[in-house]
Amino acid sequence: MLRLLFGNRVAVAAGAVVLLFVLAGLAAPVIAPHDPNLQNASAIRVPPLWQAGGTGRHLLGTDSLGRDLLSRMVYGARISILLGVAVVLITLVVGTALGMAAGYFRGWFDLIMSRVVDTLLAFPFLIFALAIMAATGPNLVALVLALAFKGWVDFYRVARGDVLAAREADYVTAARGLGASTPYLLVGEILPNIIPPLIVLATLRMATIIIAEASLSFLGIGVPPSIPAWGTMVSDGRADVAAAWWIATFPGMAILLLVLSVNLFGEGLRDVLDPRMRK
């Protein structure tokens, strides 16, 4: 499988870009040239290094409060990736567990869960998260819970559908006939066979979470203002687009590049993990 993945140059390049963002976020305190929240009244709206008026002290320029843009972007990568990973892990675990239980046991539990899922699907994802954050205000814990509250539904549907097909498969029937317990059947036999599509879905959903976090931060109800976030930076720079284009442009380009790379890498994983795509 690794040979097939490395044979996809687009997926490899996208994975390298994602890895670069991850490393930048992890090493933010080391590679950031300045404190991301340090304001400098004598360096307001300094342009990038290559533009007239730019200085080597601020490679990507500064914002309307004199804060170094490169430092804020590096720290912003940490927030976007950590939130994305946290939300995806929560939704993956919750959705997979509930989906496997509903698909294997069926009955009243499956019926109740189906009604809950149908109800949640009636609300658009971003509107749902926006309503929660509007009620709680900017808060990292609330933001993670708001994005995860409905995000598990997709994992639930995939896990339930795959378990419904696997519960009557020959290898499960044989293990059941040999006296295997239900927990072993679910975790030892069925789960390993439904992991590939869940991994692909997790990769693709991370891009959605990053966009949702940036959107909420742009509206001022996502990440707290004291924490550098790409969406907040774009919002701060929209009023100065004509005079200081770099304030909103560079964070916007970072969001675009990271989301595109995650999606392309997820597509590459799908091609490798899905036998039908390999054919």
Q: Regarding predicted confidence, which is higher, 85 or 225?
A: 85
pLDDT digits (tens, 9 = 90+) for 126-161: 788 888 888 887 888 888 888 888 889 999 999 998
End-to-end CA distance of the chain: 13
Q: What value does the mean pLDDT take over residues 49-68? A: 82
Q: At what angle do helices 191-218 and 246-273 cross, to 10 degrees?
A: 170
Residue 95 phi, psi dihedral angles, 5° rounding: -65, -40
Provide the mean pLDDT of the chain.
86
pLDDT band at 20 (very low <50, low <70, confident <90, very high): very high
**Would you say 17 and 274 are in contact if contact means Cβ atoms under 8 Å apart?**
no
Give the model's pLDDT for residue 253.
93
pLDDT band at 274 (very low <50, low <70, confident <90, very high): low
Q: How far apart are CA 208 and CA 126, in angstroms?
A: 10
Which candidate, 85, 72, 63, places its Cα nearest to that of 36? 72
pLDDT band at 187 (very low <50, low <70, confident <90, very high): confident
CATH 3.30.470.10 is the classification of domain 2-278: no
Q: What value does the mean pLDDT take over residues 56-70? A: 86
Q: How far apart are CA 20 and CA 271, in angstroms?
A: 23
Beta-bridge partners for 62: 68
Q: Regarding predicted confidence, which is higher, 70 or 177?
A: 70
Q: What value does the mean pLDDT take over residues 75-95? A: 91
**Would you say 234 and 251 are in contact if contact means Cβ atoms under 8 Å apart?**
yes
- The answer to whether residue 93 scores a pLDDT higher than 60 is yes
pLDDT band at 106 (very low <50, low <70, confident <90, very high): confident
Q: What percent of the chain has pLDDT over 90?
A: 23
Give the model's pLDDT for residue 88.
93
Give the model's pLDDT for residue 8.
76
pLDDT digits (tens, 9 = 90+) for 203-261: 888 998 999 889 888 888 888 888 888 998 998 888 888 788 888 899 999 999 999 99
Predicted TM-score (pTM) of the model is 0.86
User: Which of 12-16, 172-176, 246-250 shows the lowest per-residue confidence on average (mean pLDDT)?
Assistant: 172-176
Q: How far apart are CA 115 and CA 68, in angstroms?
A: 50
Give the model's pLDDT for residue 5.
64
Give the model's pLDDT for residue 112.
92
Q: What value does the mean pLDDT take over residues 101-127? A: 86
Give the position of tokens 């994602």.
18
